[in-house]
A and B are shown apart, each in its own frame.
Chain A
Amino acid sequence: MSVVFKKPHALTDAVLHYCPGCTHGIVHRLVAEAIDELGIEGRTIGVAPVGCAVFAYDYFTCDMAEAAHGRAPAVATGLKRADPSNIVFTYQGDGDLASIGTAETVHAAARNENITVIFINNAIYGMTGGQMAPTSLPGQVTQTSPYGRDVNHCGYPVRVCEMLATLDGPEYLERVAVNSVKNVRAAKKAIRKAFQNQIEGKGFSLVEVISSCPTNWGMSPVKALEWIDEKMIPYYPLGVYKDRSAGREEAK
């Protein structure tokens, strides 16, 4: 009998703590598959965030550091500069990357720091119980925007890929989603490319993954995946926002 499906080697046997229907599990798997396929587990170091993915250090078999809230890109900078032959990635949520850690994100991108950033955008603070995130949509109801996000009062969501694309620094920025088989396949390709870029020394590569949070959105898992198509993707269009090497190759 041949094995047609198995757990990637880069994932531990630990039981994930994520809620039913949460897409973190999918993204963890995609990262682990990329690590397996590229054969880099033995020289990969991951940096976990503060937020739902705070325990990511228990789920990946590579060496892992746990960073302070928002500081993962700075910690990754230190790890990468300490030994540039290692492959360093961060795995961060929207509060971590786009609110408290905005400066660290922007400057790691501006330096074209040769690291890989996996950015989970689910438009909410999950770990603390469903508060408004920097990426919560206008009108979105959360624990701290109970009447819907009022843009006149607390401003507009941050579009990370678009913002970083204005910088000369970053190598590669792409937004993907994990709400359908087709989108998951595209996400896999982008994540693998983001690691491949680092192996080739190309520089800062960030993949923004539009994800669902059924628990805090107050929806069934299926309905939450539909909501990504209906609400999230219109505000956060999928696609490549920067790919400097592709640009150079086209120019040739």
Chain B
Amino acid sequence: MKGNEAIAEAAIQAGCRHYFGYPITPQTEVAAYMAKRMPKIGGCFLQAESEIAAINMVYGVASAGHRVMTSSSSPGISLKGEGLSYMAGANLPALVVNVQRGGPGLGGIQPSQSDYNQATRGGAHGDFHLLVLAPASVQEMADLTMLGFDLADKYRMTAMILADGTMGQMMEPVEIHPREIPECDKSWALTGTKMKREHNIINSLSMDPYDLERMNVERYERYAAVERDEVRYEAYRMDDAEICVVAFGIAARVAKNAINEARGQGVKVGLIRPVTLWPFPKAPLLAAAEKCERFITVELNMGQMVDDVRLAIECRRPVDTCNRTGGVIPSAAEVYSAIMGAQKGGAAK
């Protein structure tokens, strides 16, 4: 199954019955899959007139208290930024998928991770975060999609799957099982008053700055709980590591090959792979800085996550980046060279 299809099927198994989207490479398989499946299970697939309309349709379904998603690729995500901000302001849960391609602008259609900063900083105006999940296999495309819906409901925030063209297009074996949807209080939803309660209002507007401040502070208290309880990462061959590679998604897959090769040469190198990009796995990185003398990020961008690694380890160790951009994927050989360079104590960038 392709990664994009795994996302779509997992969403359905997670109880999502509404999908809105607009065609854009390389995520169109999500829409195509939904277009086929939704009518057969009583769900709703609707091709919107724009990414902007799509995210606002998501806003509508989320307001009604149902699980809902949209998917797009980088330029389309920029258009969705408006809706993401409004949904944060209105505390609406939903799942948004970004199968990244190279940018800026129209960019290219090859895999990229250059929306890292956009995704991990919220991606639009105002004080808010998205809960950002970064799959590194087709199985994780499915698993993190299901998890994303659960966490979105739990914290009343939008979760984002930050994948790349490789993850979307590749096929790997995958198992998707229906699963129980956790109970969740949605008494805030617009379901009609039935003349039995006061009217509910879904809104992101507040004319009183003290009110708005109070709401933002409340939101960040929820974010603090997310940072405390929902950090996810994978540590690979880190037990005795002296060099720590940090990479997510496809970059982590490439890095593993390089690490295994370097290990064959006796180099003590390991990988920390953030599965949640926000919240970022700061604590495990800081702990790694006790033993690891050098850090290397591997990224499909000009070096965006490298700043977060420096912050996480409080600049205690040099952090290099091994990166390619524009849709080019760093090769295992390039990563291997970066590891060997760091091992020789070459100058940090």
Contact = CB atoms under 8 A, between A and B. Distances in A.
Touch test A–B (CB under 8 Å):
yes
7 contacts: A63-B191, A64-B190, A66-B202, A74-B59, A78-B57, A79-B60, A79-B63
Interface in B170-204: 190-196, 199-204
B44 interface: yes
A60 interface: yes
A86 B64 CA distance: 10
A62 B46 contact: no
Contacts of B191: 63, 83, 86
B18 interface: yes
Interface in B9-67: 18, 20, 44, 46, 48-50, 52-54, 56-66
Contact of A45 (B48, B83, B192, B205): B192
Given A75-B60, A78-B64, A103-B53, A60 B199 contact: yes
Interface in B54-95: 54, 56-66, 68, 82-83, 86, 90
A41 B63 contact: no
Contacts of A43: 192, 194
B49 A103 contact: yes
Residue from B50, B199, B201 with most neighbouring chain A CB atoms (10 Å): B199
Interface of A: 12, 41-45, 47, 54, 57-58, 60-68, 71, 74-83, 86, 103-104, 106-107
Contacts of A47: 60
Contacts of B90: 66
A6 to B, nearest CB: 18
Contacts, number: 133
Nearest to A65: B202
Contact of A57 (B50, B54, B201): B201
A79 B189 CA distance: 10
Size band of the interface chain B makes with A: 35 or more
B82 A78 contact: no
Interface of B: 18, 20, 44, 46, 48-50, 52-54, 56-66, 68, 82-83, 86, 90, 190-196, 199-205
Nearest to B60: A78
Contacts of B58: 78
B46 A41 contact: no
Contact of A65 (B44, B54, B66, B190): B190
B18 A78 contact: yes
A66 B46 contact: no
B323 to A, nearest CB: 35
A78 B68 CA distance: 9
Contacts of A41: 193, 195
A37 B117 CA distance: 52
Contacts of B49: 103-104, 106-107
A66 B200 contact: no
A46 to B, nearest CB: 9
B81 to A, nearest CB: 11
B125 to A, nearest CB: 11
B327 to A, nearest CB: 30
Contact of B57 (A54, A60, A81, A103): A81
Contacts of B48: 74, 107
Contacts of B195: 41-42
B57 A75 contact: yes
